[in-house]
Structure 1
Amino acid sequence: MRLLFFLLISLNIWAVGFLQPDEAFKPKISMIDPSTIGIEIELGDQIYIYADKLKIEDVDPKDGIDFASITMADAVKHEGESVYESSPAVRIGLSKSSDITGEQTLKVKLSYQGCSAAGLCYEPMETLLDITVDADKLSKRSTSGSSILKAPAVERASLEATPPKAAVKTSETDQIAQVIQGGSLWFIILSFFGFGLLLALTPCVFPMIPIISSVILAQGKGMGAKRAFFLSLVYVLSMAVAYTIAGVLAGLFGANLQAAFQTPWVITLFALIFVLLALSMFDVYELQIPNFIQSRLSKMGSQRSGVIGIAIMGFLSALIVGPCVAAPLAGALIYIGQTGDALLGGVALFSLSIGMGIPLLIVGTTSGKFMPKPGMWMDIIKAVFGVMLLGIAIWMIGRVLDENTTLLLWGGLAIFVAINMNALEPLGEHPSWSSRANVKALGFMVLLYGISLLIGGMAGAKNPLHPLDPFLPNKEATVSVAQNQHKTFEKITSIEELDAILAENKGKKVMVDFYADWCSACKELEEKTFSNEAVKSAMDNYVLVQVDLTANDEAARAISSKYGIFGPPAILFFDENGERIKSADIIGFKTSDEFLKHLGEI
């Protein structure tokens, strides 16, 4: 995901025509006279530098050469800010504070930040410049009362002028927030639309695919591609509106509206809705709007009869089915929270949601285009979507139930599917090996798997991929479980608990994982990333802490607010002094390779 993020930014920079940082800013240093050096920054076309961000510092104030004076050209006003639209032409008068002689190497640190008039602001940058100075030609003076800018002493090295680089490494989330702050409106829309496309197949969005397919299928006969596209668009727009409203509220007030919908009774109610939808797919009953509502809708227009229900389903799906946070979403929320600009942040969130909804729009439209004629095929497709809806219901209710009970439900669903595939029925005298025999064989395997899930669940198994672990010899079971489990985290729920852990572990690095049972990406992190052997070895260097946000109570909201967490998954890192390493924050899911690379960069 990180690689795709930077690729998208690069493509946008290329497409809009923005200069790369080393093209936009070209600093150089030269001797104006024996006691004066000059620093120029050659600016690219339509590039300017903020006056208050320009700083010149002596890297080593102990080298015997001091800055006696610093002068530069006057700044101009640009949109209310003092800027340099051409090189600031810095002039630095030199003197010496000790009896040094001969040629000396003076090292100067130049810090600055600039923007493009086309609508992009670059990150703060710094570069080291060095120049040879003849100390014999400098006058000696006292440094008392001097207004010289000095930087803390650093390790001296023979550094040549280097290209600009980021002064402070920023997290991926902050970089995305800067995209909104510094970009033009269309640049923001295109960028966040691209981010949405990248997030479209994450665990937060994928469960919506069978939902929109079954909703379109449930509309019945006469469903063409045009009608299916319209209904899919209603679903996607409703989902986008929900994400936007939830995001703006979270950015303005720090309240996670999605988390508020993760209470047990809401999840249970929505899971029950999916069960009812599934039963209608199996023709247990015909799901339709009550007659008194239908009569009113018919007065408004028959075409609107299914629109309201689909709009409600799309709105609620965004809040209940996919409540997890990714870096682009968190970046937009940070921008809204810091600036209060809910309009621009809302536009970014809406563009992100539309990008996430494009695959749903395609799936929904094709569901109508390729809908088979009434008959056996229609019954089979409806049954498939019915099973998928039951699976989503189990997946959702699993946030409330324990893992053993959830395993029993999955086992029951597998047996139900196997029976409907005629796994226990005889083949007959003349079976068709291309259809019935193959289906029966597959059904029999599903039946065996379902039985193993039931038996394993009753015996205390938790992993659906290893339902018979409780019956294996202890040694083998231990190995099997160990290969699929992550390292143990100390679970906490409050600020006080985390503060105590940080105080107790001075001298050690601490990794804090913000987790919730209702967050699908959090579980994916545990199952795919934290369980990786290389990742487990790398995490030996950290004290592991997990903040459980499942309850979404006052304590959970307080600790989320303190650290600027808008929702899980999020991982923070603290150094040996208990200070947060802000640039190391992780928001959203990371693969094991991405996570290992990130640990290596901290």
Structure 2
Amino acid sequence: MQPLPFGRLAARLPVLAFLLLSLLLSAPPAPAQDTAELLPVTEAYKLSADATTPGVLKLHWTIAPDYYLYRGRMKFKGGDGVTLGEAQLPDGEKFHDEYLGDVETYHHGVDASIPYTVAAGTTRLTLSVQYQGCHEVDPKICYPPHTEKLDLPLPTRTDATAAAGNALGAALGRLGSSAGGGSVGAPLPAEQAFRFEALAQGPQQLLLRWTMPKGYYLYRDQTTLKLADAAGLTLKPAWPAGTAHHDEHFGDVVVYFDQVELPVTVEGDLAGRQRLTLQASFQGCQDGGLCYPLMTRAVDIDLNSGAVASRAVAAEPPPAELAGGPLQVSLVAALLLALGGGLVLNLMPCVLPVLSIKAVSVLESGENRATARRHALFYTAGVLCSFTALGLGILALRAAGHALGWGSQLQQPLLVGALACVMLAVGLSMSGVVQFGASLGNTGASLASRSGPAGDFFTGVLAVVVASPCTAPFMGSALAYAFAAPMLSALLVFVALGLGLALPFLAVGFVPALARLLPKPGRWMETLKQVLAFPMYLTAAWLVWVLANQRGADAVGLVLVAMVLLAMTLWWFERSRTRGVASRIAVAVLALATLAPMYLLAHVPPPSAAAATEQGVVAYSPQKLAELRAAGTPVFVDMTADWCVTCKANEHAVLNTQAFRDLLERTGAVYMKGDWTDVDPDISAFLAQYHSPGVPLYVVFPRNGGPGRQLSTVLTPSMVEQALTAAAR
């Protein structure tokens, strides 16, 4: 039987394509922001009732960890014919609450006993129970007062035991009915739920704007405005008509949904002032969900230019031009940017090794136009299917509240180790250790019959997987659009990226003039194939280096053992072609042995976070950034990852140069770096704040406390110098 060419490598390994996609989409997602973990109120505080004792109702709350109930916020009201006595509650833990003063709280659980009497003819024990509690760790959010209505059968003194089961069942069946009603989604962080902007429309006229997502509202009468260091000046707001709302806590109030714009007149003599510092304190709620504690945002307003800069850096949204989100880019523009980004992606170093496989198969096709078209179509199908699957996976996980971005699948050590092994296997095949096909130098009439559609498809899959660490020019805006757009529009952007990546090979396959520019097939191609094996080995080495930064030396040792066992498996597989069944069983045993270190790799914990910081670099944290900004220090924030090839290129060309260090010293700026090689919720939140689909992200914060300026994903020395010089003024 005539051996098959290298172009059918994946025809013998089609399962690798599905394995890679499975690993890509089934890898555990990065943890979502903390607010997604908040429990519904009835799960945070599970209430049960026991009315088996005549004249006494016993209530019990089971309180989840990290939650507490206020003693003073418990209220009990009897229904028709029911008169309640004073509730008997144990003493709680005493502490001073920032908003409620001296309070008592309960953790873990609490019991209450309520004496009651009923009027003649009353057959049911009905009452309402109101309580309020908070989540005591980040995000520190308090629930609104929650009311549950209980409807229990009255026990008889002669059959109290039998009535107990009915009472408890009735109580449990009634739990969960509150004034808000209905179920609500997980609450957003405060800075996303209530976006605040301010600008000057004139020397003495300001415009304040709050923007809330659907289902959130702002209280009018819980909002206060004041100017800092502005004696003699007062603010006169002109509130627009709002929505009348009955609130269980504040009574009849006026609230605003979606967005509210508030004109504010500055009364008094400005005396030549150029800037004002406005402090706005406000409170709002998720309809039927949580009420947020009082929020305070401080903004600096330039009375001449109208610019506004927030002082609450760690909690504020991006500057006004970004507040509208990435959907300010039209769908057509996003598709064109995605097509261009995918096209440029062919030139990125992370994709070039895999493209060498495709280049060899294209050269194999020679003058056979049908074969060239088949290569192009199946490769394109692999690329488009992979981009679609990747897009669906990312969008589905993000819709579920998980923090997932472009390239973040390489935060999963198991996938990184598996890719390193795949690159090694491809390199060994190209070097001739194992042959999945005949010499590439053979030409002739049988060329067309030796083309493998599965191999072309698999090459497309592999190209997409290894392309994820790269962010080509034009891709940033397109991906940001995709992560915020409706599902169909987002998928079109991912398809356009894939089409751009596959476009060069489609052109060669379907444009004869381009195909004639390719060199003629010959025996020299065997040497070319072996030379192209070395980029594969380098890619495998790079992936092992990424793994070392994610999980340390233990993970590197495991993946190296797996790679040695894989090499042994392929070597013995080649020798077993002419041997008996025992040799083939040995191949299977070696293949299974290769999986053992990969299983152990998936369970290696991250190394301790005591890594030394680079000289002159400050590790990112929201608190440290806020401290630097409050001190009036310009800050250059660099969000990067070891698997991000674009990040490393920028570091080599700009950020790790003496010129950049001199620029930092000259401007007095601090270089702050966030490492997203592994999962980090703080960095994920920062990326989301700037609508960035992944890394790299560069933001320059100015000395005067103004909004951060987001730079391009591809840096130049002049761009960085201009941004830092402006920030230092």
Structure 2 length-normalised TM = 0.41
Query: Highest Rg: 1 or 2?
Result: 2
Name whichever structure is richer in strand by fraction: 2
